[in-house]
């Protein structure tokens, strides 16, 4: 069992948003970092830090600076805060606190999981629409250490066929790594079923849940996974903090060696303030996810409906109509390129493909892997909604995008229908 220093948990922090951000009903009406003139629909790329999260973290930036791994008085408050944050992250995904390892973010968690479990000459199975942190780590292991990598295909809706995994995994497979939710289409993979297949063959299972954690209910026990990635900036915590769930009993080689922090799995003096932020974000998400998921699903569907009504016959859904994140809508507008459409609507902040490839003129690799043709992939726009998205935002965004698509000589002329 890994041990983390803690002297018991402090009384729960009571960090709420400033009163100016609340209506009489208690609902947030705005965020200080969002421009009122811009409709932010790129929550899958990054989320603004929730003011409640910033308030919880600030004392550990400004006052409680002690190293939590030391033994004198200055360490006591940071050490207790770190322990509470670990418990809050564990609460979000249904794990034990000692199974949570704080990292610098989702990419580090992914790389740690894969490099820490797949030995030279080993075998790992993943799929073609994974995050680059997974795909490029696998490529690196193949190039430098002779690891055999199997990349599973996805169907036209972005789903992995469990039968494909059954055929690919063997008794010599060390790890299967398949994401919970795709950041471009929002498609949700059948993780529990896939993890069961991996385990029947003696392989461990990792899932990158960076896009899913805090947006849909997750429980590592129900999923049956051995490792799970969380990224703070996808659930209203700052960039630069994440977590890796490592099931007790899983023997993993650290990516970073040094002083033995994080139960020996991630060296480096702990970033207490950001860990506290991730803990607060996790607690808020655990409390609000059921209600917020329903609200975002309704707004997402309204946005899709309004686009369809204003552009009849031209709006094509990319991904699965049911198995997807509540706040993600990926559509192609026939006769228009996504990049041109967004350039013509500067009030709408959205994306045309993976956030990690913004500015890349090539079509989304995710959409191409799903079998979409080049024109449809180039026509894609990802509209991702979040905590501060309102019905007014949705109505206005649909009108602006549709007006741009209709405009003579505008983006509608970029690609032939």
In eight-state DSSP terms, residue 177 is: E
Strands 315-317 and 242-246: unpaired
Distances (CA, A) of 170 to 110, 173, 193, 197, 198: 22, 5, 16, 10, 9
Q: Is the pTM of this model over 0.85?
A: yes
- State the pLDDT at residue 21: 41
Domains of the chain: 59-284 (3.40.640.10), 289-413 (3.90.1150.10)
Residue-wise pLDDT tens digits, 189-228: 999 999 999 999 999 999 999 999 999 999 999 999 999 9
State yes or no: pLDDT of 365 exceeds 90: yes
Mean pLDDT score, 260-280: 96
In which band, very low, low, confident or very high, does the pLDDT at 4 lie, cut at 50, 70 and 90?
low
Task: Say if residue 17's pLDDT is above 90.
Answer: no
What local confidence, expressed as pLDDT, does residue 225 receive? 98
Helix H or strand E segment including 330:
strand 328-333
The pLDDT of residue 11 is above 50: no
Give the CB-side neighbour count of residue 111, counting CA atoms within 13 A: 16
Calculated CA dihedral for residues 241, 217, 135, 364, nearest 10 degrees: -100
List, by residue number, the catalytic residues.
356
Q: Please say if the pLDDT value at position 10 is more than 50.
A: no
pLDDT digits (tens, 9 = 90+) for 289-298: 999 999 999 9
């Amino acid at each position: 069992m890994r041990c983390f220093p803690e002297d018991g948990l402090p009384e729960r922090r009571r960090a709420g948003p400033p009163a100016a951000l609340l209506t009489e009903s208690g609902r947030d009406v705005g965020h200080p970092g969002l421009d009122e003139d811009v409709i932010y629909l790129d929550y899958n790329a990054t989320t603004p830090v929730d003011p409640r999260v910033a308030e919880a973290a600030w004392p550990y930036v400004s006052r409680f600076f002690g190293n939590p791994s030391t033994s004198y008085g200055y360490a006591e408050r940071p050490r207790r805060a770190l322990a509470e944050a670990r418990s809050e992250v564990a609460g979000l995904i249904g794990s034990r606190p000692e199974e949570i390892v704080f990292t610098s973010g989702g990419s580090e968690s992914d790389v740690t999981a894969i490099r820490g479990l797949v030995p030279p000459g080993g075998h790992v199975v993943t799929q073609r629409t994974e995050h680059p942190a997974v795909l490029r780590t696998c490529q690196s292991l193949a190039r430098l250490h002779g690891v055999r990598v199997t990349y599973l295909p996805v169907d036209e809706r972005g789903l992995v066929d469990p039968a494909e995994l059954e055929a690919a995994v063997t008794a010599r497979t060390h790890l299967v790594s398949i994401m919970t939710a795709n950041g471009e289409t929002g498609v949700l993979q059948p993780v529990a079923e896939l993890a069961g297949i991996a385990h029947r063959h003696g392989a461990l299972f990792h899932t990158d849940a960076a896009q899913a954690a805090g947006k849909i209910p997750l429980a590592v026990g129900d999923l049956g996974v051995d490792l799970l990635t969380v990224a703070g900036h996808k659930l209203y915590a700052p960039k630069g903090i994440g977590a890796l769930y490592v099931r007790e009993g899983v023997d993993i080689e650290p990516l970073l060696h040094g002083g033995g922090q994080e139960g020996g799995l991630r060296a480096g003096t702990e970033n207490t303030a950001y860990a506290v932020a991730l803990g607060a974000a996790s607690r808020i998400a655990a409390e609000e996810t059921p209600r917020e998921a329903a609200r975002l699903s309704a707004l997402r569907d309204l946005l899709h409906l309004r686009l369809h009504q204003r552009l009849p016959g031209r709006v094509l859904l990319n991904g699965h109509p049911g198995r997807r994140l509540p706040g993600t809508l990926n559509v192609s507008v026939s006769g228009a390129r996504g990049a041109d459409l967004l350039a013509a609507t500067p009030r709408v902040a959205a994306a045309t493909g993976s956030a990690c490839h913004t500015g890349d003129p090539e079509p989304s690799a995710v959409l191409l892997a799903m079998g979409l043709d080049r024109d449809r992939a180039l026509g894609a726009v990802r509209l991702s909604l979040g905590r501060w998205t309102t019905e007014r935002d949705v109505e206005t965004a649909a009108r602006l995008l549709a007006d741009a698509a209709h405009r003579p000589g505008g983006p509608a002329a970029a690609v032939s229908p």
